[in-house]
Amino acid sequence: MTLERAIALVFVVVCVVYGYTAFVVMEASLLPFERNMTFLPNVLPKWLSIIGALVGLAVMVQSGAGVGNGADVDDIDVGNLRQYKLGQAVTLLALMVAYALLLRPVGFVATTTLFLILGAVILGERRYVLLVPVSVLAAFLIWYLVQEVLGIFLRPWPWFL
């Protein structure tokens, strides 16, 4: 099965679950007075789940014929992922997750500095003399602009300060 079809299949499954929630779960949780109303919270979801499932099935039938895939010359070839820097991409994504988890406890300035330094190191940057000051300066400048100038609180320092 091609990736294209697999995604369509997942989508159809999502539609079925979504439809079940709309038709059964939400219907059961309606309040007595709501039953007489014309428009209910699950009216649109019901329509969506049916249309979605039909369209998903249509994609499954249609796809794979290779019609107008619109592939760019330098698009990613899914069949041969190993020729790309998959490791770097996955490490960067992990770094993003770490950033999300550490942002509150460690504070904006430190987390951002670390993120920018480590991100560049993962991509192969080794000129630390330039990298470290640039990252520190950027993190500090953005914090200053957003919090001090624009007044959006960012929790800049670690929890113990």
Partner 1 sequence: MVEGLLAGLSTAFTFQNLLMVVGGCLIGTFIGMLPGLGPMSIIAIMIPIAIQIGDPAAALILLAGVYYGAIFGGSTSSILINAPGVAGTVATAFDGYPMARQGQAGKALTIAAIASFSGGTVGAILLMGFAPGLATVALLFHSAEYFALMVVGLAAIAAFAGSGQVAKALMMTVLGVMLATVGESALFNAPRFTFGIQDLQSGISFITLAMALFALPEALYLVLNPKRSERGGNGESTIANLRITRQEAKEIAPVIGRQSLQGFFIGVMPGAGATIASFLGYAVERNIAKGEDQAKFGKGSVKGLAAPETANNAACTGSFVPLLTLGIPGSGTTAILLGALIALNVAPGPRLMVDNPSIFWAVIISMYIGNVVLLILNLPLIPYIAKLLEIPRNYLIPFILFFTMMGSYIGQNNATELLLLTGMGIVATIMRMAGYPLAPMLIGFILGPLLEDNFARAMNLTDGISFMWERPMTASLLVAALLLIFLPSIRAGLGQLKGDEAAQGD
Which residues contribute to the site for partner 1 (CB under 8 A)? 2-4, 6-8, 11, 14, 18, 21, 26, 29, 38-39, 41-45, 48, 51-52, 55-56, 58-59, 62-63, 65, 67-71, 74-76, 78, 84-86, 88-89, 92-93, 96-97, 99-101, 103-104, 112, 115-116, 119-120, 123-125, 131, 134, 138, 142, 146, 150-153
Nearer to partner 1, 24 or 51 (CB): 51
* Assigned token pair, 15: 């539609």
Q: Where are the beta strands (DSSP E) in 27-148?
A: none
Q: Give, rounded to a whole angstrom, the gap between the first and last alpha carbons of the chain.
A: 55
Burial of 28 (0-12, 13-18, 19+ CB in 10 A): exposed
**Cβ-contact 98, 39 below 8 angstroms:** no
Q: Cβ 92 to partner 1, closest distance in Å? A: 6
Task: In angstroms, give the least distance from the CB of 159 to partner 1.
Answer: 14
